[in-house]
Structure formats: C-alpha cells, structure tokens
Structure 1
Amino acid sequence: MYRETRIPRLRASLWVSVPDKADSLTKAADPDRGNLAFGPDAVHAPAPSLIVPDGCMDLIVIDSQIHIAGADSTARMFHGSATPTVGLRFDSGVLAQLLTTSAGELADRVTPLDAVIGGRHAEVGDAGEGGAASVTGSARVLLDTAGGLADRAPLDPRPMALARALDVRSSSPAQTVTEAAAEFAYSPRQLRRLSAEWFGYGPKHLAKILRWQAARDLIDAGRSRTAAAAEVGYADAAHLRRDERSLIG
C-alpha cells in the first residue's frame, strides 16, 4: 500500500510505502506540516518492487538514517523491508539545489545524506520496530531536515521552469528540447550541462521520462494505450512501447 501527502512549502510529497500484506494504513495530515499518524504495524516481508524513473530525487529513511535516492535514468528493483518505508519526493530540479550539489553526481544510486552535506543528522528512533511511532518519527525527521535545507538554500526557479516546459502534463503540448533551449536563451550544449546538474541527465532523457510518465498516468486512469500515446505526443502506440522498453526493460 502506498500513500502520499503533498507538502507545498517544500515542493515535495511525503510518502509511505507499506508491504501489501500489512494491515490498513490510516492517515491524518496537515498539508503544510505533514503531521501523520499511521495505523497497525507491518509484519510481512514484501516482494521486490519495480521503481520507475520519474525525473525526481528523494530523501528516504533507511536503517534509521536519511539517504538520498538520486534520479533514476532507468527502472530498478527495490527490495524493501517488512516495515513501512518513508520518503520525501521532491519536484524535479529541487533537491539538488537544496543539497548544493550536482544531481548528476547522485543519479542512479542511493547515498547517505551525511556523505553529501557533511555533519551528522538526526537519527530516527525505533525505526526497526516498524510501528506507528516509527513512521511518524521518520516523517518528522525528514520534514525537519528538508526544512532546514530549504531555509539555507534559496531556490533558482529555472530548473523547475524547464521541467514544466518539457512536461506535457504542465505544458500542453510540451516544448521540444530545441524550443526550450531557445526560450531560456541557452545553447544546446549549455542546456545539456545545466540539465545534468539540475536533474541528473540531459534534457532529452528528462523529456522522454516525463512524456512516458504522462502516458502512464492516462493508461492508469483507463485510457487505451493508443489514445494515451496520441494525447501526449507519441507518433503511435508502438513509439510509446519503444520508449517504455528503453526505460523499464
């Protein structure tokens, strides 16, 4: 089971993933603070799950410590634990700025937060128990940590604007990479360099991921693959399948 709560002030979504066989999850949340209360303990080990690329970076609590999940360029398998997993997924182009580092250095891997920004940060107590207190504690530590990062690093709006321009869900039709480079007054080479710093990969790959995600949303909502492909700008359903195979295998 998966639930998420939007945290507007952080440009992020707080999420909790509970193994499928666990009991029901209950949630009460303040949209700005993310105050959470979660129901009974999860006790069953989950099956591996497929994590698909989405152009985003996360902070995740793993073994009582905060880790950075860099942007994935292709899908990967995630072997979860028997307890809930808590994370904070940031909008495209946000977390690398808060960390004052290049997203390209963190792409396709999971890295301890302390290894990137130095110092030692709050541990999550009782993380191994997997109960409501553990989940709420993990959420609070993530929100407090992200809030501290946001307070010290004003955001450059350009990465978020570029992600919106390339995303058919935000800008219909989405701009091509050439159109986006012209609008932002960058050469193609500059745009590739900046995109790698902001998102972890070049603008063409980001646009590919965002378009596939848009098609996936439509298919999940009940559209046929042919209709979804046409709506987000694929030449046909076969084009969508080719992109899908290249991203998730």
Structure 2
Amino acid sequence: MTYSERPAARPGVVLWQSRPVDAQSSLILPDGCLDLLWDGATLQVAGPDTVARLHAPGRPAGFTALRFAAATGPCALGVSAADVVDQLVPLRDIWGDVRTARLEEQVAAGGAPALEQWLRSAPEPSDPLGARVFGLARTGLPVGEIADHVGFSARQLQRRSQELFGYGAGHLVRVLRLQKALASARSGQPLSMVAADAGYYDQPHFSREIRALTGRTPTDLLR
C-alpha cells in the first residue's frame, strides 16, 4: 500500500493516510497507540493492539486517520483504552449517533483538514501521567522503576496503564522496544547490534520477543 504521515495539529498525534495498491494483506504492528479512522464512509476507533494482526484488503479503499500516542487518545475521544484494546469500534458506539454523524459529515466534506479541525478543539489530558509513563517505557525501564518514578505502586500503575494504553506498563515496554528495534533494523543496522541497542538481553531474547509479538522471525518480519 501507499502510506504517508505527518505531525498533526497537536503534540503526540500523527495524521496518516493509506491506499492499497494490490490485493495483499498488510501486517499491523502493535505501537501503544489508539487511532481514529475515516474509511470514506464511517469513523471508527482502532484500539491499541497487543500483538500484530493482518489487515485484509477490500472495502474500504483506504484510510485517513489520526494516531494518538502517549495516551492522548482516550482523553480526546472520551474512552478508556481498556474498553477498545484489540478492537475496531464504530465511533457511534462511543459518542452516540448525533455527535458522530456531525463529525462524519464534516470529514466527508473536508477530509484530513476537517479531522485536524476537530482535533484542535478535542479535550487534552490534564494529567501528565500518560506522557510520563509512555516516555519512561520508551527507555526500557522495568515496571517497578517506572512505578517509583511516577509515585505509584506496581498495582496502581497496572490499572492506570490499562486505562491509558489498553495494557499494563510491562507490555507497553515490550511493544515500544519492538518499535525501536525495527526502526534500527530498517536503517540497515545488523540484527546482532539491533538486539543489544534496543535493550534485549541477547539475540535469542530478541528473536523470542519478535515472534511472541508478531508471529514471525526478525528476518521474516523485515522481509
């Protein structure tokens, strides 16, 4: 498929668009984010994925979407990430028919600029917890240390992380470590160096984690 993205009108949010160019399925990797998708007819919320999943081509022809990182999505959309994790949920099920229809009409007429216009007026997180946990998880810190940094017990952090990200901080660390490793590998770095730089214990640990999260070996995934 063809794919493009750029920063949206708010920090932590990306505007992206995709169009399929053939009939092949595409692999969607977990990234700790929540998306608001426009498929040309309806708005849907794609909850955070715990593991990779295949997206089969067909209708819709493509997407225009907002990707919310660092727990900005639940506040903007008024939904707990735990309620939509691993799901594709019609926005109507969250907002109701009237409010959703109003935004769908605007996006149908105005496309990506209309989505960004809505984003400018959407609620922003008043609590920095989501951004802090996301940032600490990207460094690869153990869950206990993340909890200490934000002043929570491990149990409190688990509950709040599920609300903000759809899963606990430990799984978020794994997902963000996967994204870091793939970014390094795509730049041409040897896999042996990728594993060490991304924070895996060793090459076997790297391979096990990639298979657990994507169902593929590192080499197959990059291919």
Same fold judged by TM-score > 0.5?
A: yes
Q: CA deviation at 1:125?
A: 8.1
CA offsets per residue over residues 193-230 of structure 1, 9 Å max, x none? Answer: 00000000011100000011100100001011110110
| Among 114, 118, 136, the residue aligned to 1:145 | 118
Bigger share in helix: 2
Identity %: 33
Query: 1:61 aligned to 2:27?
Result: no
Specify the code of the residue in structure 2 equivalent to 1:156.
Answer: D
Secondary structure of 2:10's match? helix
CA offsets per residue over residues 81-117 of structure 1, 9 Å max, x none? Answer: 4733211111131101112321000100111112112
Q: What is the distance in 1 between the residues matched to 2:71 and 2:147?
A: 16
Conserved 8 A contact 1:103-1:196: yes
Tell me what 2:15 maps to. Answer: 14
TM-score, scaled to structure 1: 0.78
Secondary structure of 1:123's match? helix
Give runs of aligned pairs for residues 64-143 of structure 1, distance below 5 A. Answer: 64-81=41-58, 83-118=61-96, 119-120=99-100, 121-123=102-104, 137-143=110-116
Query: 1:182 aligned to 2:148?
Result: yes
Q: CA deviation at 1:78?
A: 1.0
Query: 1:201 aligned to 2:167?
Result: yes
Tell me what 1:218 maps to. Answer: 184
Q: Please, which moves more after superposition, 205-214 or 4-13? A: 4-13
Specify the code of the residue in structure 2 equivalent to 1:148.
Answer: S
Tell me what 1:161 maps to. Answer: 132
Q: What is the distance in 1 between the residues matched to 2:23 and 2:52?
A: 18
Specify the code of the residue in structure 1 equivalent to 2:91.
Answer: L
Q: Please, which moves more after superposition, 231-240 or 210-219? A: 231-240
Task: List structure 1 runs of 4+ shifted beyond 6 angstroms.
Answer: none
Gap runs ≥5 in structure 1? 21-44, 128-133, 169-173
Cα 1:77–1:53 shift into 2, 3 Å = same
RMSD of Structure 2 on Structure 1 (CA): 2.0
Q: What is the distance in 2 between the residues matched to 1:115 and 1:89?
A: 19
CA offsets per residue over residues 2-34 of structure 1, 9 Å max, x none? Answer: 1101125252111111223xxxxxxxxxxxxxx
